[in-house]
Amino acid sequence: MDKFSIHQTAGVPLKLWDSHQPFEAGAMQQLRNVASLPFVFGHVAGMPDVHWGKGATVGSVIATKAAIVPAAVGVDIGCGMMAVRTSLTADRLPDGLGAVRAEIERAVPKGFESSQSANHAKGGWVVTPNSVARAWYDRFEARWRKIVARHPKVEGKTSDQLGSMGGGNHFIEICLDEEDRLWVMLHSGSRGTGNRIGTYFIDAAREAIAKERLDFHLADRDLAFLSEGSQLFDDYIEAMHFAQDYAIANRELMMGRVLDALRKHLPAFKTDKLAINCHHNYAVQETHFGERVWVTRKGAVRAGQGELGIIPGSMGTGSFIVEGLGNDESFCSCSHGAGRLMSRGEAKRRITLEQHEAAMRGIEARVDEGVLDESPAAYKDIGAVMNAQTDLVRIRHRLRQIVNVKG
């Protein structure tokens, strides 16, 4: 049974999986703004973690024909999740996990650290100076030089951030599932590279739109779009795909370093074939309702029939490994997390350190004022979010974190 509600607009309808009714006014207006674009196909799908974003809401799925909106993809292109299950179980873990967290923090650059500043391979594209590193360098260097040759303003530090976590809501976690099997899970994207690409093409789209005579009103300047068939459109797609591939590689390299860190402190273990690496900020061509369209998922995960995905809650509330049900009405998508309930500023004003400490009890993690904007109370109820999308995904595993590393 479908769980969405339909909202009519001046453009295409909205189909919303509402977990916290009503969605905030700002987010609803952004959804309506997107729905008014003449190239949007069918309807706009709002996931149950919808909240306000730049131009388009986080937690929205937008299908378009012959055009794409760079701000709807966002600036953290390819941001997503990776999870790996190991052979370890809870009964084989040490009583204290502080040394494990410290080892991970040493192994993976975080916050504003780069691979170079964290004493990793200097000048290369990866964090391990070996044959694997050479392969990554060869894979990316020529593609990047081609993009920069056409658009020099996107140039900047790129190679020394591959294999790094960043800050904000990015994280690394060690988790246990319902059988007490140990998982490694992490969240990161294309880092500064994707940010520069996204920012540059958002500005370029605004400039291009300013030169065109549109026969409709653009409700938000951040909804400036690129038209298929233009050179700028082609260049954006090429750069976006580069950033998405960069993000996948970033997560893979981070995962390798985390597993190496664990092997220094935990009993010998293997990793099994159940590994997931999925984007939740990206655009891709797909076929829906018999039409070939561009599907932009901004804070949403592809949930095709049988496809595995990851839906994290917050740093204190656990996460889910899910299997997609292939619901056409959501363009085969689901939420990418719990979704923010408070802005970062509001969270820092309202959540006390004592409240954060209570929410993180039993988890080896940072407990200081620097992470109050990521405290569990800043996010929506992940249980309500999951209940709102039982027609989109089936829960395969429920994970509870025992170690959390933030930038």
3 state SS of 334: strand
- The residues that are catalytic are 336
Helices (H), 12-130: 25-35, 70-73, 98-107
CA distance 39 to 314: 35
The dihedral built from the CA positions of residue 250, 255, 257 and 258, taken in this order, carries a sign that is positive
Quote the Cα angle for 140-224-159, to 5°: 20
Radius of gyration of the chain (CA): 21
106: closest CA among 334, 261, 311?
261
Angle between helices 131-150 and 231-263 (to 10 degrees): 160
3 state SS of 366: coil
335: closest CA among 10, 14, 17, 81?
17
CA distance 12 to 31: 10
3 state SS of 371: helix
Contact of 18 with 25, CB cutoff 8 Å: no
